[in-house]
Amino acid sequence: DTAVSQTPKYLVTQMGNDKSIKCEQNLGHDTMYWYKQDSKKFLKIMFSYNNKELIINETVPNRFSPKSPDKAHLNLHINSLELGDSAVYFCASSPPGTANTEAFFGQGTRLTVV
């Protein structure tokens, strides 16, 4: 029944590794997002896809690559993980039609790089 689900919920990994976070939404939404929340709770958008097309690509290292195989999925792959990548990553989706609609968030993935 979960509307926006992310896996895994927790991820602990060593520096230099490559990891992926998966996101799926069953709301029929057209737009999906990845946000990063740092240790001070500050939220920053990373990417957004609308109907599988990249529409927002903020200044993030190119080690981060989103992949949207279909409208219901938006995965985040991170190469060569660094200590500074430790954060909570949130996936979200918003209803079709227009921008400016509310976003529904997943539970978050707490990534710890050691």
Give the binding range for other proteins (CB under 8 A) out of 21-29, 34-42, 69-77, 78-86. Answer: 34-42
The binder of other proteins chosen from 75, 94, 111, 113 (CB under 8 A):
94
* C-beta closer to other proteins: residue 15 or 27: 27
Count, residues near other proteins per rule CB under 8 A: 28
Q: Say which residues have a Cβ less than 8 Å from residue 90's Cβ, sequence separation at least 6.
A: 6, 33, 34, 35, 36, 37, 43, 105, 106, 108, 109
* C-beta closer to other proteins: residue 40 or 70: 40
The binder of other proteins chosen from 52, 67, 72, 105 (CB under 8 A):
105
* C-beta closer to other proteins: residue 10 or 16: 10
52 binds other proteins (CB under 8 A): no
Query: Which residues are near other proteins by CB under 8 A?
Result: 31, 33, 40-45, 48, 50, 55-56, 88, 90, 92, 94, 98-108, 110
